[in-house]
Amino acid sequence: MSKEYILRVKCPDRYGIVAKVSSTLNKSNLFILDSAHYGDPENKYFFMRAKLIYSENELDINKFSKFFDKECRSFKMNWSIKEAGYKPNTAIFVSKYGHCLQDLIYRVDSGILPMNISCIISNHKVHEKLANWHKIPFYHVPVNKNNKKQAEKETRKILNELNIDFIILARYMQILSDQMCKDFYGQIINIHHSFLPSFKGAKPYHQAYKKGVKILGATAHYVSSDLDEGPIIDQSVERVDHAKTPKDLELIGRDLESITLARAVKYHIERRVFINNSKTVIFS
Amino acid sequence: MSKEYILRVKCPDRYGIVAKVSSTLNKSNLFILDSAHYGDPENKYFFMRAKLIYSENELDINKFSKFFDKECRSFKMNWSIKEAGYKPNTAIFVSKYGHCLQDLIYRVDSGILPMNISCIISNHKVHEKLANWHKIPFYHVPVNKNNKKQAEKETRKILNELNIDFIILARYMQILSDQMCKDFYGQIINIHHSFLPSFKGAKPYHQAYKKGVKILGATAHYVSSDLDEGPIIDQSVERVDHAKTPKDLELIGRDLESITLARAVKYHIERRVFINNSKTVIFS
Amino acid sequence: MSKEYILRVKCPDRYGIVAKVSSTLNKSNLFILDSAHYGDPENKYFFMRAKLIYSENELDINKFSKFFDKECRSFKMNWSIKEAGYKPNTAIFVSKYGHCLQDLIYRVDSGILPMNISCIISNHKVHEKLANWHKIPFYHVPVNKNNKKQAEKETRKILNELNIDFIILARYMQILSDQMCKDFYGQIINIHHSFLPSFKGAKPYHQAYKKGVKILGATAHYVSSDLDEGPIIDQSVERVDHAKTPKDLELIGRDLESITLARAVKYHIERRVFINNSKTVIFS
Amino acid sequence: MSKEYILRVKCPDRYGIVAKVSSTLNKSNLFILDSAHYGDPENKYFFMRAKLIYSENELDINKFSKFFDKECRSFKMNWSIKEAGYKPNTAIFVSKYGHCLQDLIYRVDSGILPMNISCIISNHKVHEKLANWHKIPFYHVPVNKNNKKQAEKETRKILNELNIDFIILARYMQILSDQMCKDFYGQIINIHHSFLPSFKGAKPYHQAYKKGVKILGATAHYVSSDLDEGPIIDQSVERVDHAKTPKDLELIGRDLESITLARAVKYHIERRVFINNSKTVIFS
């Protein structure tokens, strides 16, 4: 049985990268099934993702890594390789709104999102019963003005113990600390319920209603310490008209949020997303 | 031959408006072919548009107006009636980019937009030849720091003489004076090349590129004295990815601009748009 | 407390219908909050839906009905009135695929779809546990070549006892009998997993894959005795490319199916849909 | 000044193709700027498109071709290389509807579509004046029941003399002969005014109206001898409702047709499209 792997490469752009990578892979009996790359003409950075098949039994990742490092040293690559079938462990953070959570659970159950929901962490108990029914560990971590540091400490402990690969903020209404944002940069996906950069901050549907926009949006992005400013992964939109109340907009927006978040999560776990300064490169 | 009319009504909302309007029309031998109305639950304002058919020869508008005013006096209506087939006179303002202008001309020629292009006014001569070929009067009104007042005076004179009903800013890169915006409020449609309220002001495609948005937009709106803040008439969007350069975004954006502007103009000339404070009500 | 009602009217088109309806309502102290109508220019049929508010206590529907019938007799109307807040009873039919079922349950739970799921009827037991968790009565009615008549009899008995208003086929892979389609015409909504009229019948995603379409679709429609030919209520689409396998198309299609079905059901329970021969009129 | 080239490869899929191509290019001092490939898992065929930069003066295409052929012989490749900036010569065939023609001319004029419109061929004289204004050679080739062979002969002569690379049927209402379809397979792009495979043949907007679809479409495809059955290049859609007449659908459809055709033509002239039996592979 041959195995598949995902290779990711990021380095300063120059001639010959693809050729060098291809020949190095070939020498290791790894063959490219599918690959995509992009050179940012502005900052001269190169990004590559390749799906590989190993022609023999099991790849010795350590041995391969040493060889690849040696062969490609001059390119100063930031690279990684992982089994294609690897299912990352995720922690879903949620407050009271449960539509994104429900949607994610459904997609994991039905095989659309290949990941393990290792736990649900919430500042409310609303979704405990749902978590129990799906046999997902549920942690109630209340957050208020006075216990922020303690709550974060508790949260980090859970993430550590469960060996979490990345975090999904599925309408989690708390702002993470700067340090948390930095430590997990590129590993926290948030869904913002507007078409960013429009309507940052609180109550975007009310802002959209007040402005009278004719198209509603949702944005999934990596969390940075600037609120609602991290690199955008995906956006979706839906046409609306004057007759829609803020409540209507909210209901329409829920579908946008669920779908946009699910798509961003899928890109992330398939290792298709690269952070490119304040933006993303996505090989879809 | 019976004739068709468009009736527009705007007034404080209360019970019985539709019934009163319907019966008044009936008494005047005007029958509703198509109608739509909307009561804004927030500011308690009512909006109505109806397409009417007159069962006899020609409606005496003056006589009807007096009767309608008398019957509906207590409702404090702001209303108007006009022949459905009336083709408004428009002045198209344009700078160097000609895609919206070309698109509008094509739609007028092929009967999609029932209006007269009475003139093209431009601060450049680029589109004079095109205007000539289509036999549309072309006015070259250069604008610079020192002649703004004079240029506006000249422009107003043209609009006056040609009996202009409304103005289209088809990528016109000059800011109109506050007074001009006020005097023609609700009669100037602008196309802004972004998904407002994102990326106001100059170079929106560069802003969108820098922000790394995954969806590009265009917005047609009435011009107010707040730059890019007037009531939104229509918006369109198109999915983009990381590989798009600012130039690519601009090219993709051109289609969005042409289509969005054309749609907004169509709504306007079919008298479907009502300004509702900072928003619009559109019976589409 | 004043109550709201939905009035629906369908009749041969002619002048004066709106005026007559409006004045009749007015005389009954019913005021139009919102209304829409449409005259089909081809078959000369008129359709109207109005949301009404009753200015006094409780409307005596019987008394009003007699009065309305008398006043409007000459128009030969097919009409009905119902409380706006009425929640219809629905039976959801499902086979093995559960995404539409799950989505409907979620939308009912969260108040997006104001209806009662009176029961789930399935030819499989897969979704029994889910039904139990949500405390929805579950009926396992197996269907095979030999028991079709018996199964239908059993099904009809359930529908009768539970006083079902309409049926949702949420990926129910059995064909209903002609008689069933006729008896419940306009009361059964099906989701077909293609952009009808393309790819009727079985395995539409495989058909779409084979044809190499660049856009995938889903269609919600009323069931008629012609398979996949009943009046279309709503359709949705999503762009796809050559790299998508039939499995990918199926996964993408699931979102389209859930959303399209939910939207069609919402239109139906808000009484916005009229059947107009082989088509629908929808006041959205 | 270094030059850019587009390489296209099509061959039976097997391990090592990318590595072989990359190293062969490298040896020829051609470096990959951008590349994409796809292996069809069903028919085991491989497709690749790469944008290359030559690090020296001018590439000797003949010499390179011999080298590439020799190096890659065992892969049985169907391949080609061309300067990236090459502008193909196109002949636009048109009947009476001019919106696609106008749109194509505008896009060529404004630099969006890098091609030469070598001629316009029409069975009517409607667009002669437009062609003259844009200084595009116009050929009036009337077609009727009796002169089909003669008309085709005349047409082929024009195409030959003008060294045409590909043909655009921009709403050309004549059916080409089987022989013509075969001889120019993959070089004729047609715009069909429906969402194929729905509504093949004549009057698709009337068919769509009759069926009551809620979404309208347009399809650009390569012409094959099976009418409206050739490989699909691109499709677009737009939401419509019951109130749209066949005339409305036609007007809405025009925008879809223009945009879809322009997009398909762009893919084609950028050499992004591969025919894969009855489907296309497009590296967008």
- Encode pLDDT of C90-122 as tens digits: 999 999 999 999 999 999 998 889 999 999 999
Q: How far is CA A147 from its chain centroid?
A: 28
The DSSP letter of residue D75 is G
* Residue in the structure block whose two tokens are 């002619």: C14
Tell me the pTM.
0.92
The arithmetic mean of pLDDT across residues C43-71, rounded, is 93
What percent of chain D is predicted at pLDDT more than 90? 81
Below-50 pLDDT ranges, chain A: none
Residues of A in contact with B278 (CB under 8 A): 210-212
Question: Minimal CA–CA distance to A241: which of B279, D34, B259?
Answer: B279
- Tell me the per-residue pLDDT of C157-179, one tens digit each, with 9 for 90 and over: 999 999 999 999 999 999 999 99
- What pLDDT does D1 receive? 63
Residue D168: which pLDDT band, with cuts at 50, 70 and 90? very high
D159 φ, ψ (degrees, to nearest 5): -60, -40
Q: How far is CA A27 from CA A56, B95, C143, C181, C281, in A?
A: 13, 59, 58, 64, 65
Tell me the count of C-D CB pairs closer than 8 A. Answer: 82
**Rg of chain C over all Cα atoms, to the nearest angstrom:** 21
Task: Among 3.30.70.260, 3.40.50.970, 3.40.50.2300, 3.40.50.2000, name the CATH number for the domain at A4-83.
Answer: 3.30.70.260
Q: Starting at the earlier edge strand, list the strands of the sheet with A30-40.
A: A78-83, A4-12, A45-54, A30-40, D30-40, D45-54, D4-12, D78-83
| A73 min Cα distance to partner chain C (Å) | 33
Residues of B in contact with D98 (CB under 8 A): 110
* Residue in the structure block whose two tokens are 């479907």: B272
Tell me the count of B-D CB pairs closer than 8 A. Answer: 17
Contact state of C279 with D211 under an 8 Å Cβ cutoff: yes
What percent of chain A is predicted at pLDDT more than 70? 100
Contact state of D22 with A25 under an 8 Å Cβ cutoff: no
Residue A53 CB neighbour total at 10 angstroms:
16
Average pLDDT, chain B: 94
Helices D61-72 and D17-27 pack at an angle, to 10 degrees, of: 140
Residues of A in contact with C251 (CB under 8 A): 112
Secondary-structure percent of chain A, ordered helix, strand, coil, rounded to 5: 35, 30, 35
- What pLDDT does C28 receive? 94
| C103 min Cα distance to partner chain D (Å) | 22
CA atoms within 13 A on the CB side of C74: 7
Burial A213-243 (b: 16+ CB within 10 A, else e): bbbbbbbbbbbbeeebebbbbbbbbbebebb
Q: D61 versus C15: which is more confidently predicted? A: D61
- Tell me the per-residue pLDDT of D108-120, one tens digit each, with 9 for 90 and over: 998 889 999 999 9
Residues of D in contact with C199 (CB under 8 A): 197
Q: Within the 42-71 window of chain D, which residues sit less than 8 Å (CB to CB) from chain C?
A: none
Is residue D72 within 8 angstroms of chain A, CB to CB? no
Among A41, A231, A233, beta carbon nearest to B245: A41
Is residue A41 within 8 angstroms of chain D, CB to CB? no
Residues of C in contact with A106 (CB under 8 A): 99, 102
Catalytic residue among C228, C234, C248, C255: C228
Which chain A residue lies closest to B244 (C-alpha atoms)? A40
Which of C195, C214, C238, C267 should be substituted to probe chain D, the one whose Cβ sees the most D Cβ atoms within 10 Å? C214
Q: Within the 6-35 window of chain D, which residues sit less than 8 Å (CB to CB) from chain A?
A: 15-16, 18-19, 22-23, 25-26, 31-35
Catalytic residue among A228, A234, A248, A255: A228
Q: CA C175 to CA C159: how far, in whole Å?
A: 17
Which chain B residue lies closest to A220 (C-alpha atoms)? B214
Q: Which two tokens stand for residue D233?
A: 């290049």
| A215 min Cα distance to partner chain B (Å) | 7
| A18 min Cα distance to partner chain D (Å) | 7
The DSSP letter of residue C75 is G
The amino acid present at C203, given as its one-letter code, is K
CATH 3.30.70.260 location in chain D: 4-83
Residues of C in contact with A251 (CB under 8 A): 112
The SS3 of residue C267 is helix
- SS3 assignment for C81-143: EEECCCCCEEEEEECCCCHHHHHHHHHHHCCCCCCEEEEEEECCCCCHHHHHHCCCCEEECCC
- What pLDDT does C200 receive? 83
What percent of chain C is predicted at pLDDT more than 90? 81
A266 φ, ψ (degrees, to nearest 5): -60, -45
| Pairing relationship of beta strands B30-40 and D116-122 according to DSSP bridges | unpaired
Q: Inform me whether the pLDDT recorded for C1 exceeds 70.
A: no
What percent of chain B is predicted at pLDDT more than 90? 81
Q: CA C163 to CA C89: how far, in whole Å?
A: 7
- SS3 assignment for chain B: CCCEEEEEEEEECCCCHHHHHHHHHHHCCEEEEEEEEEEECCCCEEEEEEEEEECCCCCCHHHHHHHHHHHHHHHCCEEEEEECCCCCEEEEEECCCCHHHHHHHHHHHCCCCCCEEEEEEECCCCCHHHHHHCCCCEEECCCCCCCHHHHHHHHHHHHHHCCCCEEEECCCCCCCCHHHHHHCCCCEEEEECCCCCCCCCCCHHHHHHHHCCCEEEEEEEECCCCCCCCCEEEEEEEECCCCCCHHHHHHHHHHHHHHHHHHHHHHHHCCCEEEECCEEEECC
Q: Inform me whether the pLDDT recorded for C23 exceeds 80.
A: yes
Q: How far is CA C280 from CA C234, C284, D2, D103, D209, in A?
A: 9, 12, 61, 34, 11
Residues of C in contact with A49 (CB under 8 A): none
CATH 3.40.50.170 location in chain C: 89-282
- What pLDDT does A137 receive? 98
Contact state of A196 with B213 under an 8 Å Cβ cutoff: yes
Q: Inform me whether the pLDDT recorded for C2 exceeds 80.
A: no
Helix (H) or strand (E) holding C19: helix C17-27
- Yes or no: say if B190 and B221 are a contact pair by the CB < 8 Å rule: yes
Class of domain D89-282: alpha beta
| D34 min Cα distance to partner chain A (Å) | 6
Is residue A111 within 8 angstroms of chain B, CB to CB? no
ipTM for the predicted complex comes to 0.91
